[in-house]
Chain A
Amino acid sequence: MIRIAAVGDIHVGEDTHGRLRPHWLTLDQHADVLLLAGDLTNVGSRKEADALIEEVRDLPVPVVAVLGNHDYHCDNPLGVRHALEAIGVIVLEGETVTLELAGCTVGIAGSKGFGGGFAGACGHKFGEPEMKDFIRVTEEASHRLEANLRSLQTDYRVALLHYAPVKDTLAGERLEIHAFLGAYQLGEALDSAGCDLALHGHAHHGTEKGMTPGGIPVRNVAMPLIKRPYAVYTLGGAKAGGSGAGRHQRETLTT
């Protein structure tokens, strides 16, 4: 069994010093890894990146992160990324990492993702170039996510996103903004490649638990929603590592 701690939307600023670190210092008692689902800073400034790494440095478990839209606001997402990487955090954007945790291999495909909306109320690559660009970004992120998940030959596979891949976990948000909160193409990528768990943030007023149409569990771990320093999800349960739901699901969905 592996234990995954996850949280997003921590929105660290110069004013949040030490808010999370005391909780995170004992993470190894509860989890094998910490996944951060974007919006790690509030506006993505250099000072906020410095404050963020003070929270995250030298934690007792490996940390894997994606960035969120807030980390882009100062037009320097690479600054946030490099600050995190300098203290050993693995930052993914259209990339994967494989970790060995509790005797199992866990592959994580990470992407910020993007918006566009969900079936019946979504944008299309139609009309103005700006509109086409918007949806193209979402499609490209989704295609890469699918290819990355397929490439993982691990006991368990987890998708780490910022934007939502399904509508379920947006319940509570205003319908008018759903198209800015996530996109169905991300969910489609999860279902066609298969994975054991998808995590996202961004929808502060959404719902924690949802599922893709293909049955993959989706969890919205936005901190304003879960109101905890992290949530913990276990994969594998009573089954031995390597023969759990993860491997089974991959085999059935990708062959």
Chain B
Amino acid sequence: MNQEYQYLVGKLQEALACDARVGALDIKITIAHGRVHLTGQVPTEERRANVGLVAHELMPQLDVRNDITVLELSESGKPEAVGD
């Protein structure tokens, strides 16, 4: 990763945390060869799209590949007996 890309990762991480459209602290960002690659999980499709949007707004010169997934919930599952 070149020097400029390292700072961009930091800036994008900050933007994804602080931008109210996303507010996510755990998006994984990789920047290489003119492309931003985003992975991680968010609660909704709208927030997934917003992650891509914020990345594009901050660095319009780069391609954005948005591989964020949306968290699918399963049933509540079996209770666990603790401390017995």
Contact = CB atoms under 8 A, between A and B. Distances in A.
Contact of B20 (A11, A43, A219, A230): A43
B75 A205 contact: no
A19 B43 contact: yes
A232 interface: yes
Contacts, number: 85
B41 interface: yes
A197 interface: yes
Size bin of chain B's contact surface:
20 to 34
B73 interface: yes
A235 B84 CA distance: 7
A139 to B, nearest CB: 24
Interface in A218-242: 219, 223-224, 227-239
A112 to B, nearest CB: 16
Interface residues of A, number: 41
Contacts of A238: 84
Given A3-B79, A217-B82, A43 B44 contact: no
Contacts of A233: 79-82
A132 to B, nearest CB: 25
B71 A229 contact: no
Contacts of B46: 15
A179 interface: no
Interface of A: 3, 5, 10-11, 13, 15-16, 19, 23, 30, 42-43, 45, 70, 73-74, 196-197, 204-205, 217, 219, 223-224, 227-239, 244-246, 249
Q: Which 3 A-B pairs have the closest CB atoms?
A: A232-B79, A237-B84, A15-B46
